[in-house]
Amino acid sequence: MDLPSLIQPVSILIEGLVCILGAAIAFRKKEVYGWFIAFTFGVYVVYDFLILVNATIAPEFLALIFLAASISILYAVWHIYNRS
């Protein structure tokens, strides 16, 4: 196995952990931006997993979910920035 093939599952695992932590922020800290973090990294998990398993998926769909994730994390970071 080459290095990228080994790194991809580790990356997916880390993204999954960040997704769980985002949900924990939303549940335990009652911060709305936690949902946006969880959504963003949940999309990253799905996106990277589809690439890992060489799924046949429309490029437009991948682009759309990646755009949604980018907008989601932008909102989360903007919300955190404006908290002070």
Alpha helices in the chain (DSSP H): 3-28, 33-52, 59-81
Q: Measured over all CA atoms, what is the biggest interatomic distance in the chain, rounded to whole angstroms?
A: 47
Residues of the chain with pLDDT under 70: 1, 84
For position 19, what pLDDT does the model report? 98
Tokens of 34: 């936690």
Tokens of 38: 């969880």
Rounded to two decimals, the pTM is 0.89
For position 1, what pLDDT does the model report? 67
CA 32/CA 45 separation, integer angstroms: 21
| DSSP state letters, 65-83 | HHHHHHHHHHHHHHHHHTT
